[in-house]
Amino acid sequence: MPTLEAFRVETDSTQTQDDGAPVGLAYGFKQEALIAEIWSAQDRAAHEQSVREILDRIVSLRQTLEQLHARTDTLWERFSTLALERVLSGQLREFLDGIEAQLQDLDQHLVGTDCEIDRLRTGAQERLRVLEEKMAVLEPLAHRTTTQTHISMMLSRVEGLEASLLDKKDMAPDAGEKHDQRPAAVPGDLLYLRVRLLTTRIAIIASNRSKHLSELHAGLAALLPDVERVKADMATLLTRADCIRDLSRYWLAYLDITQGARRGE
């Protein structure tokens, strides 16, 4: 399948006649095929599956965070209420060793979950980027010429054809050569109308598809704040774990100082 960049180059390299009409039907059919490839049934299915996975992972991460939050709060409460008691009973070092073991296990889960959040955010941003690229390719197709301008040009040609056909019907057998020129232009006018109808249809399809992708983009972008809130909650838990670790190091330093002082006596 051609890349989006190839589509963009193809779109930007349109050759036009003086009145702005594409060079022929072949080009229009090619543009229709490109539009179909830009957002295919497989693309739709992949996007829908991606959004479902993002939603499921957000729910799963919130549940995991609740469990980690409970573990972190329990460890913090135990550390803050029992540390001084263990100092007085002379069991502080054993107590801190137990806290450190629990911290290591908690850290593994915190860091693993934090990495999963980052992967989720990166995946959502990548999906947004893909939608933006597709919309950028559709944009020139949708706005190359306004539909109203196309209709006005086609009406002008239709009026000419109508006049020509009516003139030919009413023409006397000996009217001469003055009627020969206009009938000769009829095939060209018909081809022009076919091309114009095709390019107008392409513009409408591209516009509708671009609007649809814009709505999908907005819906997906609305999920990012949820991911960021999960990330912020994770940052709070990581900070709490770091705080426990720093206080544990403080108490270990306290033990080293007091034991050194006792040996000095």
Residue 224: CB partners within 8 Å, gap ≥ 6? 121, 124, 125
pLDDT score for 203: 83
What DSSP string describes 60-129? HHHHHHHHHHHHHHHHHHHHHHHHHHHHHHT-HHHHHHHHHHHHHHHHHHHHHHHHHHHHHHHHHHHHHH
Lowest mean pLDDT across 14-28, 110-124, 200-214: 14-28
pLDDT score for 22: 44
Question: Residues 159-194: pLDDT tens digits?
Answer: 767 766 676 555 444 444 444 555 556 677 777 777
pLDDT score for 184: 55
Question: Residues 92-110: pLDDT tens digits?
Answer: 889 999 999 999 999 999 9
Mean pLDDT value of segment 198-213:
87
What the block records as the tokens of 15 is 């050759």
Higher pLDDT, 121 or 148: 121
- Residue 134 C-beta-side C-alpha neighbours within 13 Å: 28
> Which of 229, 239, 231 has the alpha carbon at shortest distance from 107?
239
Q: How far apart (Å, rounded) are the C-alpha atoms in residues 34 and 236?
A: 48
Q: How far apart (Å, rounded) are the C-alpha atoms in residues 62 and 69?
A: 10
3-state secondary structure of 19: coil
Confidence class of residue 36 from pLDDT cuts 50, 70 and 90?
Answer: confident
pLDDT score for 9: 43
Question: Residues 56-99: pLDDT tens digits?
Answer: 999 999 999 999 999 999 999 999 888 888 888 888 889 999 99
Asked if 223 and 54 touch (Cβ cutoff 8 Å), the reply is yes
pLDDT > 70? residue 242: yes
Higher pLDDT, 175 or 47: 47
Enter the pTM of the model. 0.72
Confidence class of residue 17 from pLDDT cuts 50, 70 and 90?
Answer: very low
Domain ranges of the chain: 4-144+203-259
Confidence class of residue 31 from pLDDT cuts 50, 70 and 90?
Answer: confident
> Which of 4, 76, 69, 62 has the alpha carbon at shortest distance from 38?
4
Mean pLDDT value of segment 256-264:
70
Confidence class of residue 150 from pLDDT cuts 50, 70 and 90?
Answer: low
Higher pLDDT, 251 or 164: 251
Higher pLDDT, 132 or 35: 132
Average pLDDT, the chain: 80
- CATH class of the domain comprising 4-144+203-259: mainly alpha
